[in-house]
Structure 1
Amino acid sequence: MQRKVTILITGAVALFFIIYWLANFSPARGKGEANVYDKISEGSNIRYLVIGDSIARGSGAETMDQRWYTKLEVLLKGDMGIVAKRQSLVQSGATAFEGIYRLQNAARLTNADLIFIFFGENDRKYMGPEEFSFFYEKLLRDAKMKFPNAEIITITESPLKQPPFAKQIERISYHYGAKNIDMRKHFKDTGMLTEKLTSDTVHPNGKGYQLYANAIFNLLKKNSRERNDIALLKKPLTGEHDFVLTANSMPEKTRGFKNKNGMYISNVPGNFLEFQFEGPMLGVTLSRRENGGMMNVYVDGEYVRTMSTWWPFPRERNLYVTSGLEQGKHTARFEVINDVSPHNSQGIGTIQISSVFMSERIKD
């Protein structure tokens, strides 16, 4: 009897050590499952992805070395010996809606340990806080599904002056366990005038971006020391997110627009393109450039907004048009108007559109 008890105890102890070893040292656990805080704690190099707007790309900095991500990389290397490799999906003037489309269609991204999301300052110009929260949450979820082992850090940008938008960023971040950094507070805590920390009262300068880098570095250092958990997918807060954005490059009706290599072009007021689309939201892919013009957009005969395609240099953009429509088929009309941006020195504006894009439910 005593021998059987001894065997049972020995077996239990052996089983304990086997389970412990498998959980902590086996190849199955591997580096592939270590999150960004584990890697930083162990002194391993990391990869990060930036999705965002002009502040995400460091616009306003006097030199490349003054941008927030360069400063962050210097801090990680100097303090911890960690090399952080960056990937970017950034565009000046972008919204979270455009971020969704760019992430969905990004072909060359490698694995990411950490994702930064910078949006809000531009979104407020085109939509309300409820629409913004829907697209912001969709983007966060898509990023997490694409990189399941990545931590997500959301940035409330320093120039954002609309509390409802900032509140949505905070709410969504908290729900998923993403880490939010509110740069408005960091700027305010310096006691310095906005003009001293920015290049144009909106985009940070080198001093302003140092605040961004310091805030991010301190968060990473603290959470790595504490081995914090990373963001996790949970039940959505703002509705149905099981959709992708699909393009339609074939207009149903045209007047005056010429097709040149898949780009429909006109500079004559009154000329228009009409596209059919389905679902509750609409975006448009177009070219913005120095001679960009202006156009009115109508959906099902109702005026939606006036859009400018001026930009100081050529860029293909995927712009938000509208959302909150009823399910079903709709018609969008893009009509050239006589007005031009005050930045357009040529006096004649040209519209160049390649396609519209809409939501399509992901089938089970």
Structure 2
Amino acid sequence: MRENGRDERRTRMALRVGVIGGGQLARMMIAPAVELGLELRVLAEAEGMSAQLAATAVGDYRDLETVRGFAADVDVVTFDHEHVPQEVLRALVDDGVAVHPGPDALRFAQDKLDMRARLAELGIPQPDWAAVATTDELQAFLDDHGGRAVVKTPRGGYDGKGVRVVSDAADAADWFEALDGGALLVEELVSFVRELAQQVARRPSGEIVAYPVVETVQRDGVCAEVFAPAAGATLRLIEVAEGIGRSIAEGLGVTGMLAVELFETDDERILVNELAMRPHNSGHWSQDGSVTSQFEQHLRAVADLPLGETTQRAPWAVMINILGGPQEGTLDSRFADAMADQPGAKIHTYGKAPRPGRKVGHVNATGDELDDVVFVARAAADHFR
């Protein structure tokens, strides 16, 4: 919505929320939008994407006029991903469009060097890091940090892409050669016990709610499983993780869902790994395991509606990702078997053609005993492997 157009908005039958990006996150906003009485419109990158049911436009999210045309027919703009260029976002804001999260916040999810610098200013705990523009600078960091480190491209990486563990500066020589100015991000190789994720939601008026801190399991750089809440989490861990999430949301001015990926270290520190300013894989469990799913919560937040409860519906919830691979038959042919075998599991599909390593769906399960919930979720997911 235009920031000064709230009275006009109230006279309409439905608030129009525009989502830039037609992937599975936009797809999973469709059902809660209907339930909330919102009109969801999607700018998809191509025909036939996951969110095609709500796609009202197809075009390049990097093209200002395409995005302007899409934004002209909605009341508020939000995102399925963080890749819309800053110049496009700022032009929308200058046009009077309500953009959530706004460009001033979103840039910290778009550029990891900017993120690290801002989190340092806020005093948020994070790994040792540096911006390195040459192999000599990288080698100096390696020499000071035990001979191994993590190198990341500042922009565009996800699901393990744009990330390398290196033990010699030459391991990143091709990335330095491809640099057109700027620098790479290098971080200490953290010795961690497990990976966690903390989600919070913040609306423009400032209200914030937090979800339980969860444990995430990564395989080959891709989230494979999520356990909610994180087993054995102490009161201190819960308070520290939630405090970090709230501080980042407020300090960066995030509106909508924020996911903070964390390391729990073997010396009991909690360190920030990465950020996402949208619904996130670590929160898919909330579709069936929380009073308010992350997708409903994101819509509530960007529309500046009162936020929903984040209480878990059962003591435990588990999410298992379904990845595409060299399988016989289609995913559809496997649903009936999975549902018959594990009627307590909830299976969510993204409408994507399977290919190796591609996220094509996920399974959720909830219950009173963690071992039982894990068994149900894994048994259902096994039908797709």
Alignment TM-score > 0.5, same fold: no
TM-score of the pair, normalised by structure 2? 0.29
TM-score of the pair, normalised by structure 1? 0.30
**Greater radius of gyration (CA):** 1
